């Protein structure tokens, strides 16, 4: 018998639905929300309303692309958190209503665990290699930065995390200081391609152990620009590519130094990097280079599965189903990771 899981993601500003069958991805549809662009960040109320408008068309599209109908769905997996409460409520309420009407089980998914399992998103007949347990995973998203050991699909052992801003937040805040629109991470990546990463140096934090810190770097970037702009108000536009390449290098180095330390301490050579910031070309390149040098096996999701998507929710739902981890309809969304 086939096991068909519908995955639903609505934690931030992407409404997404995906279908996985027996752990293989059949479809993944994403409706991005453009409404936030002019506000310089995600506006929670607008995100919730857009999820409400997008969710049914996105689920329909995912079913259609998979060549399945609602009758084929055996379980519904949805993001419980962390994320924006109003946004999570739309996905979870939709998932509960549909699960009740189809009389199928409901599976609540931790968004960060799902990012980690994005390295298991495979289509049938794909030759993609997946990590062997235990593997070490660097999770870098807009709201979180974690180093995790995975002993199996479902248990995360956190060995390091940020003490202030997340890596994605550092990218977005530095981009904002340069006047770039939200989300600035992908734009820094794009401008950095034509810039000199050694043009400017910014003070990086040194945090003990396997934890990270980005707020000092952001402040040093802000003060540096403020001083240069006093002398020359075109400073940013004249140096945009070099500024982007230099700040990207600083963020990437702050991440790779801890990844290397964690790999040395744990003696693990199976290394995954996931989450929105794993789409960054500088980070991908740096981790691959380090992997060649250290003889690691590296796993980074395809770009479309690095940022928020429901494919990772449906795959996580599949592994939770196999472990009989179902969710009661009384379970409610949770905004913060430490409350999950």
| Residues near Zn ion, by CB under 5 A | 141, 308
The pattern of x and - marking residues 74 through 103 that bind ligand KG4 according to CB under 6 A reads: ------------------------------
Instruction: Tell me which residue of 4, 37, 35, 30 sits closest to 16, measured CA to CA.
Output: 30
Instruction: Say whether residue 7 binds ligand KG4 (CB under 6 A).
Output: no
What burial letters (b/e) apply to 20-35, b meaning 16+ CB within 10 Å? bbebbbbbbbbbebee
Closest to ligand KG4 by CB, 12 vs 75, is 12
Per CB under 6 A, the list member of 256, 280, 314, 316 interacting with ligand KG4 is 280
Three-state SS at 54: helix
Closest CB 166 distance from ligand KG4, rounded Å: 7
Q: How far apart are the two ends of the chain, measured CA to CA in Å?
A: 32
**91/95 Cα distance (integer angstroms):** 6
CA 308/CA 12 separation, integer angstroms? 8
Compute the least distance from the CB of residue 114 to Zn ion, in Å. 8
Of residues 285, 288, 291, 252, the one with CA closest to residue 268? 291
- Within 188-217, the residues that bind ligand KG4 by CB under 6 A are 189
Longest dimension (CA), the chain: 70
Cα angle 162-306-147, degrees, rounded to a multiple of 5: 30
Q: With beta carbons less than 8 A apart as the criterion, state whether 318 and 23 touch.
A: yes
Binding mask 226-265 for ligand KG4 (x = CB under 6 A): ----------------------------------------
Contact between 12 and ligand KG4 by CB under 6 A: the answer reads yes
141 vs 162 by CB, closer to ligand KG4: 141
In 3-state terms, what secondary structure has residue 20?
A: strand
Smallest distance from ligand KG4 to CB 168, Å: 3
CB of 87 to ligand KG4, least distance (A): 11
> Does 40 participate in binding ligand KG4 (rule CB under 6 A)?
no
Q: Residue 333 binds what, of Zn ion, ligand KG4, none (CB under 5 to 8 Å, by partner type)? A: none
Q: What is the nearest approach in angstroms of Zn ion to the Cβ of residue 219?
A: 25
- Does 291 bind ligand KG4 (CB under 6 A)? Our answer is no
* Candidates 126-134, 164-172, 261-269, 331-339; binding stretch for ligand KG4 (CB under 6 A): 164-172
Residue from 86, 91, 143, 301 binding ligand KG4 (CB under 6 A): 143
Quick one: what does residue 277 bind among Zn ion, ligand KG4, none, with the CB cut-off 5 to 8 Å set by partner type? ligand KG4
User: Minimal distance in Å, beta carbon 212 to ligand KG4?
Assistant: 14
Taking the complex as a whole, the smallest distance from the CB of residue 330 to ligand KG4 amounts, in Å, to: 26
Is 277 a binding residue for ligand KG4 by CB under 6 A? The answer is yes
Q: Which of 120, 171, 191, 296 binds ligand KG4 (CB under 6 A)?
A: 171
Q: Do 202 and 248 meet the contact criterion of CB atoms below 8 Å apart? A: no
Closest CA to 87 of 139, 140, 31, 134: 31
- Give SS3 for 58: helix
Tokens of 223: 């003060």
Give pairs for 325-331: CB < 8 Å, separation 24+.
325/107, 325/154, 326/75, 326/105, 326/106, 326/107, 327/80, 327/105, 327/106, 327/107, 327/108, 328/106, 329/96, 329/99, 329/100, 329/106, 331/80, 331/106, 331/108
94 binds, among Zn ion, ligand KG4, none (CB under 5 to 8 A by kind): none
Binding site for ligand KG4 (CB under 6 A): 12, 141-143, 168, 171-172, 183, 185-186, 189, 275-277, 279-280, 307-308
């Amino acid at each position: 018998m086939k096991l068909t899981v519908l995955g639903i993601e609505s934690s931030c500003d992407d409404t997404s639905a995906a279908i996985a069958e027996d752990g293989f991805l059949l479809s993944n549809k994403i409706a991005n929300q453009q409404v936030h662009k002019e506000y310089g960040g995600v506006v929670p109320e607008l995100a919730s309303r857009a999820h409400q408008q997008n969710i049914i068309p996105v689920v329909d599209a995912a079913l259609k692309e998979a060549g399945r109908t609602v009758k084929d769905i055996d379980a519904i997996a949805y993001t419980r958190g962390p994320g924006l409460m109003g946004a999570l409520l739309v996905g979870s309420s939709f998932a509960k209503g549909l699960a009740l009407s189809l009389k199928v089980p409901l599976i609540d998914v931790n968004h960060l665990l799902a990012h980690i399992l994005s390295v298991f998103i495979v289509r049938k007949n794909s030759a993609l290699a997946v990590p062997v347990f235990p593997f070490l995973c660097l999770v870098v998203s807009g709201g979180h930065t974690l180093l995790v050991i995975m002993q199996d699909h479902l248990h995360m052992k956190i060995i390091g995390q940020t003490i202030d801003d997340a890596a994605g937040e550092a990218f977005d805040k530095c981009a904002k200081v340069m006047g770039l629109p939200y989300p600035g991470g992908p734009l820094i990546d794009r401008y950095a391609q034509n810039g000199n990463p050694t043009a400017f140096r910014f003070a990086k934090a040194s945090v003990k152990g396997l934890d990270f810190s980005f707020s000092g770097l952001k402040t040093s970037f802000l003060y540096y620009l403020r001083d240069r702009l006093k002398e020359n108000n075109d400073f940013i536009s004249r140096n945009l590519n070099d500024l982007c390449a230099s700040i990207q290098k600083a963020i990437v180095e702050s991440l790779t130094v801890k990844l290397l330390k964690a790999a040395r301490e744990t003696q693990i050579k199976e290394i995954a990097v996931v989450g929105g910031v794993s789409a960054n070309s500088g980070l991908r390149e740096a981790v691959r280079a380090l992997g060649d040098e250290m003889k690691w096996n590296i796993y980074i999701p395809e770009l479309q599965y690095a940022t928020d998507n429901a494919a990772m929710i449906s795959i996580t739902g599949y592994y939770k189903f196999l472990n009989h981890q179902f969710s009661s309809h009384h379970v409610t969304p949770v905004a913060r990771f430490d409350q999950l």
